[in-house]
Amino acid sequence: MLDIASVVRVHVDALIVAQNHLVVCDAIARNAPVRKPVAMSAPHMPKVAGIDSALPAPAHTVAALHEPPGAPVVMIQDRLAGWVSDLTTLHELTERLAKTGSMDAALNEVVRAGAALVGSSRGLVVLEPASRADEHIPRTTVGLGFSHGDLGQLETVPRAATSYGRLLDETTEPATAAESVGDVLGDPGLDPRHREVAVRLGYSATYAVSLTAETAGRIGAASWFYDEPAEPVERQRHLVGLYARYAAEHLARLLELESTRARESTIADELLPGRLPRVPGVRLAVRHRAGGDGGDWYDALPLPDGALGLAVGSVSGSGPSALAAMGRLRASLRAYAVMEGEDPVAVLSDLELLLRLTEPARTATVLFAHTEPASRRIVLAGAGHAPPLIVGERRTEFVETSLSAPLGMLSCWEAPSVAVSPAQGETVLLYTDGLLRRTGDPMDRAFARLHAAAASVPRSLRDDPGAIADHVLRLVLPGGADVSGPGARGSAEDVVILAVRFD
């Protein structure tokens, strides 16, 4: 997985200390009572030529302030209490934002927190980085209090007619930080389409802020909507402006994280097989869900005498180095499989020796299976890998394999092979441990969850290995197969399922 922190903490402690210091000084200066100045004492010079050199006392130009003794203290306390309350709220909201590890969660938190600060119940945030060089991050709109249909209607309003659209399109420097429209329907120059949508959706005022980061520039805008003509007061504008600055920095870092993950996912896909081979007697399907790790891989290659070599594995580490190691390991296994694929133990032994000599600091789990489709016979060996799962009409069971250490962990790897004979119409599932880890459950419960998902495959889907893999993904993964697709956010574990159906 990537060596990039998935959560960026936003601190406001320094802001609180600085503003509290300024607040106290300002409050004391404004509310301190004016006291009678003490007359300056000057030395009495001796009389010269009958002239009295005594200086008269200066006249007072400011009258004393007559207030109850406790009034200034109460005023200071009230103002301090208000400021502390505001800063505490800001601190809590930025803390909550900092805990979001995915872009979707962060955008939803931004629009919700902003609505609370400006006193609105509806809003939207548009993620649209000013630089479109990164094609992996599309334009994203998240709404609060609006349905998908409502957001679609807002999209039909010309951008120049909306406050957030003007902020997004602005090219002048310095960029406008916020724009308020206190009475949308009262504007005589309002765009006709905007008026129609405003009446239909029932909003009468908007307040929008720009999301601008120091390094990434403008990355989007947020807008909140009021049911009646209204504008946020100065205090609310100040708080939401501070929050928008912190939010923009957090979103910019998440954008960089998403971009890096997408690039590594693309590289990983290029290192994996472009298509699966077609071998008489079996049908293959694979589902690869990249989560940012980049170390999980699979392979399927034709072997002499009509045999088929199948492999799944995972290398330790994360980032580009893990991707490179995965590519080297897969290429080496292919070479050993062609030479001695009928003996999976020999293939893994050679692979372990190569790994130990060339990359002694790295470990890997691998499962290699020599398959004979004509006789429906599989001989397999695993190194620290999860056992395959057989799915059929009469049984759903894990293949009994012996315990073995991952490659590179022991000075000499050794484990016996296992022979399996699937029946006609049965499907064998080979998978990486990322499928189990993504469940968030202990390993025993994750295995039980996988078994239950495979056992519940409907009879109508059992003839299609791809449908079986999709069904298992939907039931095993917490968010289902869709949210765990390529480029999925919020999880660091790669997932591979290689389904082999015997006709």
Instruction: Provide the mean pLDDT of the chain.
Output: 81
Contact assessment for residue 362 and residue 342, using Cβ atoms and an 8 Å cutoff: no
pLDDT (average), residues 111-115: 95
Q: SS3 for 446? A: helix
pLDDT of residue 86: 82
pLDDT (average), residues 472-488: 62
Residue 336: CB atoms within 10 A of its CB come to 20
Contact assessment for residue 501 and residue 372, using Cβ atoms and an 8 Å cutoff: no
Q: SS3 for 491? A: coil
Among all chains, which residue has been given the structure tokens 């799962």?
389
Angle at 395 between CA 393 and CA 399, to 5 degrees: 135
Statement: the pTM of the whole predicted model exceeds 0.85: no
The pLDDT confidence band at residue 474, using thresholds 50, 70 and 90, is: very high
Which of 25-34, 82-91, 174-183, 417-426 reaches the highest mean pLDDT?
A: 417-426
Contact assessment for residue 353 and residue 332, using Cβ atoms and an 8 Å cutoff: no
Contact assessment for residue 223 and residue 164, using Cβ atoms and an 8 Å cutoff: yes
CA distances from 237 to 4, 107, 242 (A): 33, 19, 9
Tokens of 307: 């045999």
- pLDDT over 90 at 116, yes or no: yes
481 vs 113: CA distance, rounded Å: 30
- Lowest-pLDDT range of 1-10, 297-306, 421-430: 1-10
pLDDT (average), residues 135-158: 86
Dihedral, CA of residue 484, residue 486, residue 488 and residue 493, to nearest 10? 70
422 vs 282: CA distance, rounded Å: 11
Q: SS3 for 311? A: strand
The pLDDT confidence band at residue 492, using thresholds 50, 70 and 90, is: low
Contact assessment for residue 387 and residue 429, using Cβ atoms and an 8 Å cutoff: no
CA distances from 300 to 175, 276, 420 (A): 54, 6, 18
271 vs 178: CA distance, rounded Å: 46
204 vs 123: CA distance, rounded Å: 13
Radius of gyration of the chain measured on its C-alpha atoms? 34
pLDDT tens across 322-336, in order? 888 888 888 999 999
Residue 116: CB atoms within 10 A of its CB come to 15
- Lowest-pLDDT range of 315-319, 334-338, 471-475: 315-319
In the chain, the percentage of residues whose pLDDT exceeds 70 is 79
205 vs 183: CA distance, rounded Å: 5
218 vs 379: CA distance, rounded Å: 57
pLDDT (average), residues 357-384: 91
Report residue 149 CA to chain centroid gap.
Answer: 25
Tokens of 271: 């290192």
Residue 212, judged by CB atoms within 10 A of its CB (0-12, 13-18, 19+), counts as buried
User: Which residues partner with 207 through β-bridges?
Assistant: 180, 224
pLDDT of residue 151: 93
